[in-house]
Amino acid sequence: MQTGRHFLQIPGPTNTPLAVLAAIARPVIDHRGPEFQKLAKDVLQRLRLVFRTRQPVVIYPASGTGAWEAALVNTLSPGDRVLMVETGWFATLWQRMAARLGIVTEFIPTDWRQGADLAALEARLATDARHEFKAVCVVHNETSTGCVSDIAAVRKALDRAGHPALLMIDTISSLASIDYRHDDWGVDVTVAGSQKGLMLPPGLSFNAISDKALAASKANRFPRSFWDWGEMLAANKKGFFPYTPSTNLLQGLKVALDLLEEEGLEQVFARHDRAAEATRRAVRHWGFETVCRLPGACSSSLTAVMLPDGHSADAFRKAVLERSNMSLGNGLGKLADKVFRIGHLGDFSDLSVTGTLTGVEMGLAVSGIPYRPGGVQAAMDYLQGNAGPNARAAP
């Protein structure tokens, strides 16, 4: 048995604030009564501020995977062609889902060490004179690699090509952690989940929907029931859902939105930026590379760290768990056992960051992995020289 609190430093699910947990633990309320109606109207309206949109946001009792499927089946038809970008493991899973649904996918490859290849994307769009691609799907923050794609630039690439394809973006590990603008960037469907920047347990997923996407949903030919936007939006207008929603998670969502608004989104983004830079400085000091090799594309939600050849990242993670009672993210897909991932998103402070890095540095020592000591101090020096505002008092 290990004493002390467990350090959950994976890139999601993230740590849930006590105030949010307390809200989730409240008694279940009638999901067809006036108390719930008031709650639903409140969260549905305020969610738009997090997505930076004036358009509707729908909520499903599902993981982010469900929101992927909802985005596809509400806007496309079997046999439609979509252009996707292989930025990492989660982009790959989204592509596999689309293919299983009968959508014809074209996958632009990358080396998983950068965001979307904008030049390749624009070049391919320019050759699609018949506009056969009905959608372009990109992961904003690739959770498996710690690489961010420039979504504003993707929108510009579509515009320069004069291409009418829908733009669908996965923000599952970037929403409420990294600056994102559904309306300003001309996104048609934004996909998100509850268990990362929104600081909730898994169980809620989201689609933010443009007018163009909504129009497409009324003309497409995919059968759907549970995922249908039309039925959901009709019920939401009255403050209700077409089927039993996750009432207690919605109670927690209200408090999570309170916390985000109290801190302010710009301060939330700045806090994540500082934590990410401190972590990268520690990694560089230890003598390791991050998976993301382009400084401008490095994630503020997580850092994926490459270990030297011949060293098992999974064995290292096991040693850290046993030595420091701390969970780190594993490598996924072709990065399996080669990297470990440090999550710095959601509810955390400078002390959370330095405590995590201390656990990593101790793990390196006990695992016999060659490294340069002092990474924690390098992170501390940065944080002390770039002090951020005291975001909010602990609950």
Within this chain, domains 7-14+265-385 and 18-261 share the same CATH topology: no
C-beta separation of 395 from 21 below 8 A: no
- Burial class of residue 37 (count of CB atoms within 10 Å of its CB; 0-12, 13-18, 19+): middle
For the chain, what is the total number of helices (H) and then of strands (E)? 13, 14
For residue 190, list its beta bridge partners: 169, 208
| Domain 7-14+265-385 class in CATH | alpha beta
Residue with tokens 């669908």: 168
Q: Which of 93, 144, 153, 89 is nearest to 117 (CA)?
A: 153
Third-level CATH fold of 18-261:
Aspartate Aminotransferase; domain 2 (3.40.640)
Tens place of pLDDT for every residue, the chain, 395 residues?
788 889 999 999 999 999 999 999 999 999 999 999 999 999 999 999 999 999 999 999 999 999 999 999 999 999 999 999 999 999 999 999 999 999 999 999 999 999 999 999 999 999 999 999 999 999 999 999 999 999 999 999 999 999 999 999 999 999 999 999 999 999 999 999 999 999 999 999 999 999 999 999 999 999 999 999 999 999 999 999 999 999 999 999 999 999 999 999 999 999 999 999 999 999 999 999 999 999 999 999 999 999 999 999 999 999 999 999 999 999 999 999 999 999 999 999 999 999 999 999 999 999 999 999 999 999 999 999 987 755 443 33
Extents of the domains making up the chain: 7-14+265-385, 18-261
